Structure 1
Amino acid sequence: MPPHMKLSAITLDCPDPLALAAFYQQATGLEPHPKSNPDFAGLNREDGLVMGFQRVDDYRAPHWPGQSVPQQLHICFKVEEDLDEVEGRLLELGAGKPDHQPHDAAKARVLTDPAGHPFCIVSS
């Protein structure tokens, strides 16, 4: 039997933790972690999950879908609202939209956060 483990945190490398935390805070509504600082920032979810952002010197953004700089992590967010509306709001916050979209646009979209990490918004 495998050990019982509960995911407690996901941490993304980035050049500016406070800026990336602000993007995801505006995108998700999660509460800022009280010990955020220029080297590590976090967001807290009600169930205890922390989404963290850590400063990395000489950070290189992933090149999705290519692998010259691998994506290393891919986050998906279920959305209850219209995907076009959510996408528009995220683009206004600083997200990017790669040309390559592997999914049916009515069901999912691939975007990139301001540090270049790919993430999907998926119709629930």
Structure 2
Amino acid sequence: MPVLEQLTTVVVDCADPVSLATFYQQATGWELTYSDKDFASLSAAGTGAGLAFVRVEGYQAPKWPEGSKHLHLDFTTPHPARAVEELLALGATRPAFQPGDGQWVVLLDPEGHPFCLIPATTD
């Protein structure tokens, strides 16, 4: 029997937790459950999952695609092209390097963390 039951939160280091949480809250519609100058968290209703953001003094953004990132987030979306447009309007950027031969799109959040948009499968 495993000792870890369920992943509940992915915590992301950043310079401005409230600003980054606001970006993801606007992008996902998840509920902002807590925020102060050093920490902010979001919750995805009904899933038990969430994202949190913690201030790190002297934070330096990851470099894409040079490999200094520690992790990235993947999100599915039924309308990738529309999602890209909306996320760019919220402050994301689209780097030139796009691996995967068009199977997904890599964007960078306002603090430089890469995340991928994957077309949602429809059965």
After TM superposition, which residue ranges in structure 1, 4 or more long, deviate above 2 angstroms?
Answer: 1-4
Give unpaired runs (5+ residues) of structure 1: none
Say which of 107, 113, 116 aligns to 1:120: 116
- TM-score normalised per structure 2: 0.92
1:53-109 deviation digits (Å, cap 9, x = unpaired): 000111000001103xx110110001012x11110100010001111000232x310
Where do 1:28-67 residues align within 5 Å? 28-33=28-33, 35-46=34-45, 47-67=47-67
1:14 is aligned to 14
- Identical residues among aligned pairs (%): 44
Q: If the length of structure 1 is used for normalisation, what is the TM-score?
A: 0.91
Query: Greater strand percent: which structure?
Result: 2
The one-letter amino acid of 1:24's match is Y
Q: Deviation per CA, 1:21-73, whole angstroms, max 9, x where unpaired?
A: 0000111010101x311100011111221200000111000001103xx1101
